[in-house]
Chain A
Amino acid sequence: MRLFSHGCESRQAAYLAWADRPDVGERIALEAHAASCVECGDALRNAKRVDAALRGAFSPLRDRRTVIAPGRVRLAVGPRSTATNPWLRAPRFVGRLAEVAVMVGVTLFAVSTTFDPSAAPSSSTRATHSVVQAYVRAQPPLSDIDYLRWLRLNKPDVSSTASDQTRLPMGGRFDGDPVEIQKALGLSPR
């Protein structure tokens, strides 16, 4: 006794007898087999009823129609199909070429100015710094802290004082000259 039976091998053919429309020879062989096989006879009989029920159920849908016009397809496709002549596409090609040329020119100009040192703006940071300082100097001190800041900003520049070349005479010598003490060994200064 088989535990897992797959049924008769002709069962699929019996179910599809109404859908597949086999030729006369196959049909006669199938019906002859179904007469002796319980399972195939059952399948053939009920497949006919299922087939009839399906055909009846789908028959109203089979008559369903639509009224779409082919113009909607042309609209969906667009005017691309009309421009099949290459001469009609020439103006569009020229326009596209001009666009590309302008784009390349702008890009090259931007690249060349980026890497050219002579075209770069000079001392921009110093100018900004001096403008800020001038503005702050011009403001009157409002509070103590601002006043202190203002004083510090308006303090005389140390570097300019240090570089002042005004030299005053002191004792026959200039104050800035280094004093060298000359010592003669064994000799009196006189």
Chain B
Amino acid sequence: MKTQRDPAAGDARTDHDLVYAARDGDTVAFDALFYRYRDGIFRLGLAITKDPSAAEEIVVDTFARAHRALARLEPDDSLRPWLYRVAVNLSYNRRPRKGLVLSSLDEAVDEPLANEDGSPSHVAEQAELRRLVLGAVDELGPKHRLVVVLHYMNGLNLTEIAEVVDCPVGTVKSRLHYALRRLRKHLAAHPELGIEPTRPIIATELRVPKPITAEVPLEGE
């Protein structure tokens, strides 16, 4: 059986080399860049817009912008943060307006369920847990949700996320910290996930040393 070769795996050149080759009119180099980042940008657009056709348009528009900006692009190492930043901006421009109800992020997960191993009850249970978690992510604010999506779905580290959202790494850490705390609070209501509820912080418990206690013998003993 003939397997389809991944076009992105064929070109081992770095993004820097591919950008300079595409600038000289090498369409193969631009295609290699396209195949390398196509799926990641599609997933990012899908996570923000929740609409596969809009995500595909975002991929096309992102690379169209990259093509127009080839003469100005100076990627040091990776083109990914620049492309993702453009894709995020385009995705938020296409984001559904208030009042327009689209499917949730978890409803975009359709095909992989059929491929999972295990009993039908296990598959249904996993799908339910996934729905719970993605529903909780949906309830986050846009900034916190974007950081979670970029890290957990697109696999960007915190430095790359800082480049994409154009803010310091400390801000990204703060947003992710807040998002994880909120998610913990939401998901603690479902014991099947094994997440404990947030404990109230008691200053005396944390800061004041416990008094030393010792048994005092009672009189007559």
Contact = CB atoms under 8 A, between A and B. Distances in A.
Given A53-B195, A56-B130, A81-B67, A66 B56 contact: yes
Nearest to B173: A16
Main DSSP-derived SS at the A contact region = helix
A21 B160 CA distance: 14
Interface in B114-143: 126, 129-130, 133-134, 137
A70 B59 CA distance: 10
A45 B183 CA distance: 14
B68 A77 contact: yes
Contacts, number: 141
Contacts of B25: 84
Given A50-B180, A54-B152, A73-B34, A42 B199 contact: yes
Contact of B64 (A5, A51, A56, A76): A76
B113 A39 contact: no
A74 to B, nearest CB: 8
Nearest to B25: A84
B176 A61 contact: no
A117 B209 CA distance: 106
Given A73-B64, A77-B67, A65 B42 contact: yes
A16 B179 CA distance: 11
Interface string A80-94: 010010000000000
Chain B CB count within 10 A is highest, among A21, A50, A56, A62, for A50
A68 interface: yes
Contacts of B155: 62
Contacts of A76: 60-61, 64
A38 B206 contact: yes
Interface string A52-65: 01111110111111
Interface residues of A, number: 44
B187 interface: yes
A57 B195 contact: no
B97 interface: no
Interface string B27-53: 100110011001100110011000010
Contact of B158 (A20, A37, A38): A20
A77 B157 CA distance: 31
A70 B203 contact: no
Nearest to A62: B153
B196 interface: yes
Contacts of A39: 199, 201, 206
Given A61-B47, A62-B155, A53 B193 contact: yes
A1 B42 contact: no
A39 B63 CA distance: 46
B203 A53 contact: no
A7 interface: yes
A38 B157 CA distance: 28
A22 to B, nearest CB: 11
A125 B177 CA distance: 85
B48 to A, nearest CB: 12
14 contacts: A15-B181, A37-B206, A49-B194, A50-B184, A54-B148, A56-B133, A61-B109, A62-B153, A64-B43, A64-B46, A66-B42, A68-B38, A74-B27, A77-B67
Given A39-B206, A57-B134, A64-B43, 10 more contacts: A1-B203, A16-B177, A19-B180, A38-B199, A47-B184, A50-B187, A53-B129, A53-B193, A68-B59, A76-B64
Interface of A: 1-3, 5, 7-8, 12, 15-16, 19-21, 37-39, 42, 45-47, 49-51, 53-58, 60-66, 68, 70, 72-74, 76-77, 81, 84
